[in-house]
Amino acid sequence: MRTFFTTLFLLLSVVTFGQLFPKVADFHGRIVKVTERRYGKELIPTKKDSGVFKPGKYSGWKFVYYFDQDSKLVRRVNTFQGKVYTIYSYQRTHSGDSYTEKEIIEKDEFNPASESVEYENFTDQNGRIISVNFWAIDRKGKSRELFMVEKDPEYSQGRLTAFTRHSVNEQGDLDTGERVELFYDQAGRLIRIERKDINSEFKTVLNYTLTPNGFLDHYSVDFLVGLPIYGRNPKQDIYYKCDKQGNWVRKYWLADNKRLMEAKRKIKYR
């Protein structure tokens, strides 16, 4: 369980919930509901069609996000061709100098014995996060395993500029970890994140390009900077189209210099 969640967070840490690491595109405004459809479908080849992947075809996957009166995410339902596969719910509690955000897997067709993830955030007297514990909890609550920590944050002018993330092994020991540095433009908007492995010193670099009104336009991930792979580092480019509230409604990935549809969102506001 610990290994699964650690791997998941290292790969998808820009989109997870309740941690120091920033989200790629948070939700803005008084949202009620977001319906997201994913594109790119695997097809069985026929005599008339030699290709097996259609990037512009609806995949059958749909994610629906539900929000409370304060426009905070409380539930997410993933379906495939109309069948519910996974249901997540989100809870938040405060106690003294800490608050906890929990992502609960209510249903998971892929893993019937699924777990929930708890993010335990500790704050200073100014309300800034100073450390985060990541806990994996089994469905019946009989086990609770610490699998990752974020600590040693640095702040400048009220903005988070750096922190360290460590994985935790079964003996409770921390690995050497990675140091994360955040960079902002003159308007105080996040434009770059560098994740540096403390042991190997190899980097993963995330860049954000914003529109003149501050909405996300382009997001790129450059993997293993400093470790050339056949003369070229693997890189991923994602492009967004946002609505007037700054929430993305179209998401494209770049392949062979072409923008291919990855997802569409329909957003309902109050």
Residue 171's pLDDT is: 87
Structure tokens at 250: 């179209």
Full pLDDT tens readout for the chain, 270 residues: 555 545 444 444 444 555 788 776 678 999 999 999 999 876 666 555 555 667 788 999 999 999 999 999 999 999 999 999 999 999 989 888 888 888 888 888 877 666 788 889 999 988 899 999 999 888 666 788 999 999 999 999 989 999 999 999 888 899 999 999 999 999 999 999 999 999 988 898 999 999 988 899 999 988 877 665 555 556 789 999 999 999 999 999 988 888 999 999 999 999
Beta carbons of 61 and 35 less than 8 angstroms apart? no
What residue spans define the domains of the chain?
Answer: 2-269
Residue 73's pLDDT is: 92
C-alpha–C-alpha distance, residues 254 and 270, integer Å = 34
Residue 167's pLDDT is: 93
Residue 12's pLDDT is: 44
Label residue 258 exposed, middle or buried (CB < 10 Å: 0-12, 13-18, 19+). Answer: exposed
Beta carbons of 86 and 107 less than 8 angstroms apart? yes
Residue 114's pLDDT is: 62
Beta carbons of 117 and 135 less than 8 angstroms apart? yes
Q: Which residue has the tokens 């770049």?
A: 254
> pTM to 2 decimals?
0.82
- The full DSSP string for 56-125 is EEEEEEEEEEEE-TT--EEEEEEEETTEEEEEEEEEEEEETTEEEEEEEEEEESS-TT-EEEEEEEEE-T
Residue 50's pLDDT is: 54
Q: Give the other-Cβ count within 10 Å of 119's Cβ.
A: 21
Residue 156's pLDDT is: 94
11: left (phi over 0), alpha (psi -120 to 50) or beta: alpha
Q: Give the other-Cβ count within 10 Å of 155's Cβ.
A: 15
C-alpha–C-alpha distance, residues 30 and 264, integer Å = 19
Residue 8's pLDDT is: 46
Residue 58's pLDDT is: 92
- CATH number of the domain at 2-269, please? 2.40.160
